[in-house]
Chain A
C-alpha cells in the first residue's frame, strides 16, 4: 500500500532535549512538508522540501530543523530552542509541478513536553 508513515505516534520529551520525528513516504512524491497543529489554530507550515537536498522555511520554522537526504524521507528535529513544542505534528507529501492537486497527510505524531 502506498502512503505516508510517521513515527512514533506518541512522543514525550523533557525540557531541553532535542527530538526527531520520522516521516517516510512511498508515493514517489517529490515534495514533502511538516505542519504543526494546535487546537483552534489550524495547520501551520514549519518546513517544506521540493526536492532532495533542498528545503525551505515555512511560517514557523524557529526552533525546528529538517533534512532531506532521500526522496522518501523528511525527518523533523524539534530542538530545545522551540519554546512551546507540545503539539500534533503532521507530515505531508505531494507531486511536484504544475497541476499538483494537493497534499496527502500522514497519521501524525503527538509530542508532549514534560
Chain B
C-alpha cells in the first residue's frame, strides 16, 4: 500500500464548475500538507500549504485537512481553462523534514 493515495483521474469539468480533488494517507504522523500544480512538461509549483486539520482559503482555492480520517482535499471554485493541469498532494511529518511524500497526481481538464 502506498503511503499517499491519489486518484489519477483524469477529471474533466466544464468551465465554472467546482473541481474537487483529494488524497488519503496512511501515516498518522503527517502534519504538514501541500498542494502543487504542475502544467504539462513543467515543474510543480506550490499552491497551498496547511498545517494540521482545518481549512485554508486562497482566492478560488480551498484546502481542507481531516486528520481523523487521514484525508485532504483541494477545491477549485469557478474553474477556468487555465486550471487544466496535474495536481499533486504532498505531506511531511515535521516542519524541518526534508522528505516529502507525494501522491501520484490527478490530471484535470477544464473545458471552455
Q: How many residues of B contact A (CB 8 A)?
A: 24
In residues 18-63 of chain A, which contact B (Cβ within 8 Å)? 31, 33, 40-45, 48, 50, 58
Complex Cα distance A96/B8, Å?
32
Verify A45–B99 contact, CB threshold 8 A. yes
CB distance from B33 to the nearest CB of A (A): 10
Query: Given the complex of chains A and B, what is the CA–CA distance between A20 and B6 in angstroms?
Result: 32
Shortest Cβ gap from A92 to chain B (Å): 8
Q: How far is the CA of A103 from the CA of B98 in the complex (A)?
A: 9
B43 near A108 (CB under 8 angstroms)?
yes
A64 adjacent to chain B (CB < 8 Å): no
B96 interfacial contact with A, CB 8 Å: yes
Measured between beta carbons, the chain A residues less than 8 angstroms from B42 are 107-108
Given contacts A42-B102, A107-B43, A108-B43, contact A99 B6 (CB under 8 A): no
Distance, CA A33 to CA B100, complexed state (A): 11
Q: Which of A100, A102, A105 contacts B43 (CB 8 A)?
A: A105
A interface residue count range (under 10 / 10 to 19 / 20 to 34 / 35 or more): 20 to 34
Interface string of A81-108 (1 = CB under 8 A from B): 0000000101010101111111111111
Q: Which residues of A contact B4 (CB under 8 A)?
A: 42
A110 in contact (CB, < 8 A): yes
> Which residue of the partner chain A has the closest CB to B95?
A99
In the bound complex, how far is the Cα of B6 from the Cα of A52, in angstroms?
35
Q: Are A99 and B96 in contact (CB under 8 A)?
A: yes
In the assembled complex, how far is the CB of residue B61 from the closest CB belonging to chain A, in whole angstroms?
Answer: 15
Instruction: Flag B71-97 by CB within 8 Å of A: 1 or 0 each.
Output: 000000000000000001010000110
Q: Is the CB of B8 within 8 A of A43?
A: no
Chain A residue contacts of B60, Cβ below 8 A = none
4 new A-B contacts, CB < 8 A, other than A42-B103, A100-B96, A105-B36, are A6-B43, A43-B102, A90-B43, A102-B100
**Interface residues, chain A, CB within 8 Å of chain B?**
4, 6, 31, 33, 40-45, 48, 50, 58, 88, 90, 92, 94, 96-108, 110
10 closest residue pairs by CB, A with B: A105-B43, A42-B102, A42-B104, A43-B102, A107-B43, A105-B44, A108-B43, A98-B96, A99-B95, A106-B43
